[in-house]
Structure 1
């Protein structure tokens, strides 16, 4: 009998119906309320993920985190999402704690991690990463400390932009708008030894209305970097 996963409170109330399905290729998440959409599955060994890793330590993410200066950073990715940034950082040498509070998404992340551990070509990277199902506020409020804390909260949807790609649309429906994101900045800064890095849309306001020490900007997004005091 397939493993049963509990319904997540709040999804049905918002008109969303998600179901986890085991397959030969790994666990996938089907949006039953969007029958034309392909199921969501996390694969950190995909061509797209390999392209991200190939960007090396000169790419914006790695530079914002500080991997071009420090070889072995301990990073907390406090808003895990699909885990792509966390995997990229682990592949570039960091030790990464990946936190995700949404249970269905956390299940997909654990499945991707298990498959990567079993792949001889990717096991070394997978061993530098751990998946933690928890609320970021709880993790940051504990006694643990990291060299860098990375925050990538879901951007608020004000209905003024074109619909994102289907994968990101499902992710938004699954996790919501991260309305409590502003409250994460202070505990993140308290929990880091070197810096806190916040990924934002290019013209989005600063998290918590706090200006960073410096920014690294691309064409669509930027990284706000807050140095430890």
Structure 2
């Protein structure tokens, strides 16, 4: 995700930290609310702060969808459970955590420092969950604060079974607004304008399978034709296979 604002670590309990604004007039603050690190969009004062909860009912429903759901099938998790997946567009971490709960070892890569802090806090709280399955899933997640493009190019020798890409794009004023959490994420990051380069880096790496989430009617990322397409009602996965 494109970086925006100043680098900032998570604040202590009861503290507030203002990472700063950007040229678009967006500004954010990190604060601790009820034990969870939260992001407040100061330029949207009517919005509730955002915190990441990997133990929520929504995430549990995703997990209950099992290995036959579109996400798992696109990454080959329905065929082999104990694989190493890299989610190179970590975002809110829900997809990556779901995959970990279904048996995979997952590396979440996030280059936006504020989002990386929120992801680490979500993992901390999931590790403390009294639900053994959720705590075990959190233990199979590794959070890497880095730009995924050079990271993938530098880790070609690392055993990676599959790479997940779910790039976000800047608001073009034409598409329907996403849920507020995703709007806040887009405000913070500015989108993933280098998504095509990210796909190139993934294809040049060691992963045998790369799955790219696209809108149901969207074109191929970077005009690269996939080996296969798995379609849903609102989205599809374009799957690329490496014969390495």
TM value normalised by structure 1: 0.94
CA contact (8 A) 2:213 2:236 kept: yes
Q: Which of these residues, 235, 238, 241, is aligned with residue 221 of structure 1?
A: 235
CA contact (8 A) 1:149 1:192 kept: no
Counterpart of 2:58 in structure 1 is 48
Q: How does 1:9-48 map onto structure 2 within 5 Å?
A: 11-48=21-58
CA contact (8 A) 1:80 1:98 kept: yes
Q: Distance in 2 between matches of 1:76 and 1:162?
A: 29
- 1:205 aligns to 2:219 (yes or no): yes
Counterpart of 2:202 in structure 1 is 188
Q: Distance in 1 between matches of 2:77 and 2:128?
A: 26
Greater RCO, 1 or 2 (C-alpha within 8 Å, sep 6+): 2
In the alignment of these two chains, the number of paired residues is 227
Unmatched 5+ stretches in structure 1: none
Q: Distance in 2 between matches of 1:194 and 1:180?
A: 22
Question: What is the deviation of 1:156?
Answer: 4.1
Counterpart of 2:75 in structure 1 is 65
- 1:163 aligns to 2:177 (yes or no): yes
- 1:134 aligns to 2:146 (yes or no): yes
Question: What is the deviation of 1:162?
Answer: 2.5
Question: What is the deviation of 1:142?
Answer: 1.1
Question: What is the deviation of 1:168?
Answer: 1.4
TM value normalised by structure 2: 0.88
Question: What is the deviation of 1:3?
Answer: 5.4
Q: 1:32 to 1:219 in 2, by over 3 A?
A: same
Q: Distance in 2 between matches of 1:6 and 1:170?
A: 15
Q: Distance in 1 between matches of 2:19 and 2:117?
A: 12
Q: Distance in 1 between matches of 2:18 and 2:84?
A: 32
Q: Secondary structure at the match of 2:23?
A: helix
Structure 1 vs Structure 2 CA RMSD: 1.5
Q: Distance in 2 between matches of 1:193 and 1:28?
A: 34
Q: Secondary structure at the match of 1:158?
A: coil
CA contact (8 A) 2:169 2:190 kept: no
Question: What is the deviation of 1:108?
Answer: 0.5
Counterpart of 2:115 in structure 1 is 105
CA contact (8 A) 1:155 1:201 kept: no
